[in-house]
Structure 1
């Protein structure tokens, strides 16, 4: 339902958030490697996230990308909006232009329920919540090893 670009963006933000306590700035190459994404694509995505104030960047020899504490409480829906827009939560599941409640496609009723549930999950879930799962070692992102319990 969300684009590959949006998936990469969410992974990048969660990775940055999982490193927030370390107070380090990461470069594009480091982030791309950890989220298993193309470097050039990651750079464009990170710039867009920075533009939307979801993450922060500093230029220069001590620069890089990082996430500030106030940004940790950003809901995931903000990342989706920055990358894909919110029209994915109103679009037809079959891609039809003339699909709506009064003129539904065959998949409309089922897809509307799924789409609305996903939207609510993105609205209620914060960056901090997902980053904690990585920090605790209970969940993972590509390239990040979980801690042995």
Structure 2
């Protein structure tokens, strides 16, 4: 459903948020160990999320990535998805056609309209705080 970059970005943000709840900053090496992702690729993704002001970064020996606690409830999943993948998940054709719309629909178009609306609602209503709390409590996991 999401691109690999988006999957890694979401996992990284959830991990960073869970550690930020403990008032810890994390280095990229720690993030990739806990989400099982490639270092350079993940560093690029997290770097782009820093530029989008979703994650903060401090350099130096006591530095690392973090998310301010008061912002965790404000940052929604849609912010991460659109920062990494743009809005193509909401607009592109489900069958990959160059053009597909309500005037000239693909065979799956009308089915995807409701799925996309539901997905957008879920991403708009799910905060990083909610997901990080699940990870912190042990009710959810990022790797298997």
TM-score of the aligned structures, taking structure 1 as reference length? 0.92
Deviations 1:107-149 (A, max 9, x none): 1111221122111100110000111111111111117xxxxxx
Gaps of 5+ in 2: none
Q: Which runs of 5+ in 1 are unaligned?
A: 144-149
Q: Conserved in 2, the CA contact under 8 Å of 1:55 and 1:71?
A: no
CA distance in 2, matches of 1:71, 1:104: 40
User: Which residue of 1 is the match for residue 56 of structure 2?
Assistant: 56
Paired with 1:134 and 1:38, the residues of 2 have a C-alpha distance of 21
Shift of 1:40: 0.6
**2:28 matched to which residue of 1?**
28
* Count of residue pairs brought into register by the alignment: 143
Say whether the 8 Å CA contact 2:12–2:35 is kept in structure 1.
yes
Q: Normalized against structure 2, the TM-score is what?
A: 0.95
Q: Which residue of 2 aligns with 1:77?
A: 78
Q: Deviations over 1:23-50 (max 9, x none)?
A: 1111111101101100111110110011
What is the DSSP-based 3-state SS (H/G/I as helix, E as strand, rest coil) of the residue aligned with 1:19?
Answer: helix
Aligned residue in 1 for 2:117:
116
Shift of 1:69: 1.4
Structural mapping, 1:1-149, within 5 Å: 1-73=1-73, 74-142=75-143
- Determine helix, strand or coil for the equivalent of 1:37: coil
Q: CA deviation at 1:62?
A: 1.3
Q: CA RMSD in A?
A: 1.1
Is the 2:21–2:69 Cα contact (8 Å) retained in structure 1? no
Alpha-carbon distance in 2 for matches of 1:49, 1:37: 16
Query: Do the aligned residues in 1 keep the contact of 2:94 with 2:108 (CA within 8 Å)?
Result: yes
8 Å contact kept, 1:57–1:65: yes
